[in-house]
Amino acid sequence: MTLDFTLNGQPVSLEGVPAAESLLDLLRHRLDLKGTKEGCGVGECGACSVLLDGKVVDSCLTPAWKAAGREVTTIEGLARDGQLHPLQESFLSAGAVQCGFCTPGMILSAQSLLSDNPDPSDEEIKIALAGNVCRCTGYHDIVLAVRRGARALRGEAPEADES
């Protein structure tokens, strides 16, 4: 059987994917996309978050075959034509990245939130990111980055929101 799906806008066709393989292992080991991280491996840390048809899932808990016929977006798929995605820009400008291990998952969770809710409150941002754990530096600047990225995606000018 062939596993066909769309990965970051490109069609992918794979042979010989075992039934029990996770989407995480498929991305990292079969497709060599190392932006998706393996943290806990049991759905508690969110480092392996990817978008499946635009909605965030833990790729460690998702059988690879669930991607069949669907669209998978990893952190590698956010930048377009060499331009970082507004959330990637806002994570940099807000200083929301320290070691960076949680960052791909944080950004994809944020992207999933903003596609449902373009103007979330801080509380809604925190709930949306509750499944993504940062062990470096805390969440203050991450929430700020999501707020800033949301404004950029809405086409609004930055505000003085450094609180």
Partner 1 sequence: MSRYLAPDNLAEAVAIRAQGARIVAGGTDLMISLRQARLEGQPQPELILDVTRIPELNRLELGAERPFLGAAVTFRRLKTDPEVARVYPLLAKAASMVGSVQVRQTGTIGGNAANSSPAADGVSAITALGAVALLASPRGQRELPLSELITAPNKNLLAADELIMGFWLDRLPDGAGQAFSKVGRRQAVAIARLNVAAAIAPELREVRLSVGACFPSPRRLTLVEELVMAGQPGPELWRQAGRAAATNFTDVCGWRSSAAYKVEAIARVTARTLATAWAKAGGAA
Binding residues vs partner 1 (CB under 8 A): 1, 16, 18-20, 22, 41-44, 46, 49, 52, 55-58, 60-63, 65-66, 68, 109, 112-113, 127-128, 130-132
Nearer to partner 1, 81 or 126 (CB): 126
Quote the CA–CA distance of 108 and 46 in Å, as a whole number: 10
Quick one: which of 133, 7, 146 has its CA closest to 67? 7
Nearer to partner 1, 90 or 111 (CB): 111
Instruction: Count other C-beta atoms under 10 Å from residue 2's C-beta.
Output: 9
Nearer to partner 1, 71 or 93 (CB): 71
Q: Provide, rounded to whole angstroms, the least separation between the CB of residue 144 and partner 1.
A: 20
Quick one: which of 159, 7, 45, 39 has its CA closest to 93? 159
Q: Provide, rounded to whole angstroms, the least separation between the CB of residue 68 and partner 1.
A: 7
Nearer to partner 1, 20 or 157 (CB): 20
Q: Provide, rounded to whole angstroms, the least separation between the CB of residue 132 and partner 1.
A: 8
Quick one: which of 14, 47, 56 has its CA closest to 31? 14
Which of left, alpha, beta for 13 (phi over 0: left; psi -120 to 50: alpha)?
Answer: beta
Quick one: which of 22, 80, 19, 84 has its CA closest to 48? 22
Q: Provide, rounded to whole angstroms, the least separation between the CB of residue 44 and partner 1.
A: 6
Q: Provide, rounded to whole angstroms, the least separation between the CB of residue 61 and partner 1.
A: 5
Nearer to partner 1, 93 or 133 (CB): 133
